[in-house]
Amino acid sequence: MRIGIAGAGAFGSALAVTLAQAGREVTLWARDAEAVDRMRATRRAERLPEIDLPVQIDPVSDLSTLFACDTILLALPAQATRGFVAEHAQALSGKVLVACAKGIDLTTLTGQTAIIAEAVPSATPALLTGPSFAADIARGLPTALTLGCADEACGAALQHALSTPSLRLYRTADVIGAELGGALKNVIAIACGACIGAGLGDSARAALMTRGFAEMQRLAGALGARPETLMGLSGFGDLVLTCSSELSRNYRYGLALGRGAAFDSHTTVEGAATARAVTDLAAARGLDLPISAVTARMVAGDLTPLQALDALINRPLKEERE
């Protein structure tokens, strides 16, 4: 099986490297033809400059080569997925499409697999998510991810095809839960980064992670997810990783907010858009998600981190289970 990967950013390139090192043939597509030429000449990806690209990876800018693959991993920014699959729906017909982004689409307020299913009804949508940094995957460090697929036979086949000696995949049919866990934790990671950036301390961060996880469970449950899914890699596991490491773009973005510092506008921060989407989803369902709400307002520039803390800490007292 030749596996196609749409998107040669850090995560797409890292997946290509670990799959190629396990003997898989991989087509790695990037939009920028000049960047592809450099990859082919240097055997290095721009977002992973210290990692050699194995010979099993074929970097291309020609979409027809990508679309020749039956299984395609969509390693695109979450807000770009809808446009890509809609534009190329005919070429993607009948394929297995594995979403790798962690975010909620701002226009449709749906996750990545729902976007795929709507744009390409004949495709089989799946999801790859969980606690991982691209550099760790590319370096062959042990990593475990969640593979979500409602089609159990396809999910089992993908689990074997995409697992490697250093990348272990756990399978679930609860695609909604896996998807929401990966998306919602980014919002809490921004809040935690802002907390540390503003000098509020590790105890405050622990409180945000815990109460933020409760919000994740609340919204995911309202949207049909199984509670136990959020306790797994794609929920709790990813939350722990992204709320505690500066390798997380969402956490670094939060740090910058907390410090009042500039942040690279070219860096994709999935949690910024997802925070806005979560606010709309919560309002439509009458859900109280205070951490997500103040995070969305911080991202919009309507609250400073200290004002956000004040809004949270002065809320009415309640039982922890609420």
Q: How confident is the model at residue 321 (pLDDT cuts 50, 70, 90)?
A: confident
- What number of CA atoms fall less than 13 Å from residue 266's CA on the CB side? 2
Cα separations in angstroms, 275 against 121, 188, 211, 244, 251:
28, 9, 16, 19, 13
Mean pLDDT, all residues of the chain: 97
Q: For residue range 92-135, what is the model confidence (pLDDT) as tens digits? A: 999 999 999 999 999 999 999 999 999 999 999 999 999 999 99
Q: What is the pLDDT of residue 322?
A: 74
Q: For residue range 8-59, what is the model confidence (pLDDT) as tens digits? A: 999 999 999 999 999 999 999 999 999 999 999 999 999 999 999 999 999 9
Tell me which of 95, 102, 185, 318 is the catalytic residue. Answer: 185
Q: What's the mean pLDDT in 273-292?
A: 97
pTM flag (> 0.85): yes
DSSP letters for 170-185: EEES-HHHHHHHHHHH
Q: What's the mean pLDDT in 173-200?
A: 97
Active site residue 318: no
Q: What is the pLDDT of residue 208?
A: 97
Pair 118, 85: CB distance under 8 Å: no
Q: For residue range 260-272, what is the model confidence (pLDDT) as tens digits? A: 999 999 999 999 9
Give dist(CA 5, CA 30) in Å, integer: 9
- What number of CA atoms fall less than 13 Å from residue 85's CA on the CB side? 32
Check residue 234 and report its DSSP letter: I
